[in-house]
Amino acid sequence: QSVLTQPPSVSAAPGQKVTISCSGSSSNIGNNYVSWYHQLPGTAPKLLIYDNNKRPSGIPDRFSGSKSGTSATLGITGLQTGDEADYYCGTWDSSLSAVVFGGGTKLTVL
């Protein structure tokens, strides 16, 4: 059971928009920055969003992040088949003194 809660899967058609939610508590999302990672099959995770809503260089602006209270959301617009991957949210948990991740969300682009 992950400390952060994500939907197991989401799907949408190419060109459409999808959002992935990440729910936590005051000890993690509520008081720390959230990051998002994507993981293509058979590869290592890669940073997608940091500090709730910032994109590293090279990440297109189709990807966006937001946070409100103890929840965070990843948004992806203009879906492409290459976006099919597992997506994870992560943050520091101040009570556990640990990094916590969501259970991951599998994105399918139909």
Partner 1 sequence: QVQLVESGGGVVQPGRSLRLSCAASGFTFSSYAIHWVRQAPGKGLEWVAVISYIGSNKYYADSVKGRFTISRDNSKNTLFLQMNSLRAEDTAVYYCAKENEPEAGRSEIDYWGQGTLVTVSS
Longest dimension (CA), the chain: 40
Contact between residue 5 and residue 103 where contact means Cβ atoms under 8 Å apart: yes
Give least dist CB 80 to partner 1, A.
22
Of 13, 58, 81, 97, the one binding partner 1 (CB under 8 A) is 97
* Adjacent-strand bridge partners of 54: 50
Assess 1 for contact with partner 1 (CB under 8 A): no
Residue 13 or 25: the one with the smaller Cβ distance to partner 1 is 25
The C-alpha atoms of residue 70 and residue 44 are separated, in whole angstroms, by: 27
The C-alpha atoms of residue 34 and residue 57 are separated, in whole angstroms, by: 17
Assess 101 for contact with partner 1 (CB under 8 A): yes
Assess 98 for contact with partner 1 (CB under 8 A): yes
Q: What residues make contact with partner 1 under the rule CB under 8 A? A: 2, 32-33, 35, 37, 43-47, 50-51, 56, 86, 88, 90, 92, 94, 97-104
